[in-house]
Amino acid sequence: MELAVADTGIGIKAEDLPRLFQEFVQLEATRAQKHNGTGLGLALTKKLVELHGGRIWAVSEGEGRGSTFTVILPFAGVGPSPTA
């Protein structure tokens, strides 16, 4: 199963993409902009996706151009219930 979420937000600099899923990393659009949080959300998301045998990544055309996050998870389909 593939799920992609795109936005038209601030975007991500090409040089920041490799750091995006690292623990305790917060990317900032400007030095004056402050973010709440620990920088663990995307790192935890990546770990959960990988534990399910999937992959996650992000692409961005740069600052001010938005970003697209894509998750691929294995999908075996829905079979009969064990009690059927």
Q: What is the pLDDT along the chain (84 residues), one digit of tens a residue?
A: 999 999 998 898 888 888 899 888 777 654 555 656 777 889 999 999 999 999 999 999 888 899 999 999 998 766 666 665
Please tell me the CATH superfamily of domain 2-72, with its number: Histidine kinase-like ATPase, C-terminal domain (3.30.565.10)
Q: Tell me the pLDDT of the chain averaged across its residues.
A: 84
Question: Is 0.85 surpassed by the pTM of this model?
Answer: no
- For residue 5, the model assigns a pLDDT of 96
Q: What are phi and psi of 42, to 5 degrees?
A: -70, -35
Question: Measuring CA to CA, how many Å separate 70 from each of 4, 31, 38, 44?
Answer: 4, 28, 22, 15
